[in-house]
Amino acid sequence: MTGAIPDSLGQLKNLKICTAFGNRLSGIVPPLIFNISSITAFDVGVNELHGRLPVGIGTTLPNLQFFSVGYNQFTGSIPLTICNLSSAELLQFSVSQFSGNVPFVGNLKHLLSFRFSADNLGSRGLKDDLISLLFD
């Protein structure tokens, strides 16, 4: 697939799984998609998408288990509200243009994988956070 993600996708209020991994999608993710609280899996990794993630993503997507936006051109910081994603199992932000600090995810009990390599992210307390996440 190529082109933009259609805005109409954000009107599917019962959408649970939204994946478009490894295409040539471009543009931004329509903001209304991030308000579909039924989404459990969201994967737009390996595309040509850009823009910023909404600040409240961790509260507007309460059922999210799998989230992948890596290998795109997203900018800005990873929203601090991801620490509210209590059902999250995988969070993937690798190889993009994110900046700022890595949010603390040590309280996410179901988290199996948190990927954030090759970004412009800082590491304030990251070593201690990862040790805590791995050994608590």
Give the type of residue at 99.
S
DSSP 45-98: -SSEEEEE--TTHHHH-TT--EEE--SSEEEEPPPGGGGG-TT-SEEE--SSEE
pLDDT, residue 15, reads: 97
**How far apart, in whole angstroms, are the C-alpha atoms of residue 43 and residue 64?**
11
80 touches 101 (CB < 8 A): no
pLDDT, residue 118, reads: 64
Residue 7 has pLDDT above 70, yes or no: yes
Tell me: the pLDDT tens digits for 50-59? Answer: 999 999 999 9
| 16 DSSP assignment | -
Sheet holding 41-43, edge to edge: 17-19, 41-43, 66-68, 90-92, 113-115
Tell me: the pLDDT tens digits for 90-133? Answer: 999 988 899 888 888 989 999 999 988 766 776 544 544 454 45
Token duo for residue 95: 């190889």
| 23 DSSP assignment | S
pLDDT, residue 131, reads: 42
Token duo for residue 126: 């990251």
Domains of the chain, CATH where assigned? 2-125 (3.80.10.10)
pLDDT, residue 86, reads: 95
**Residue 131: which of 109, 104, 110 has the closest Cα?**
104
Residue 6 has pLDDT above 90, yes or no: yes
Mean pLDDT (the chain, rounded): 88
**Average pLDDT of the segment spanning 25-38:** 97
- Beta bridge partners of residue 42, listed in sequence order: 18, 67
Tell me: the pLDDT tens digits for 70-88? Answer: 999 999 999 999 999 999 9
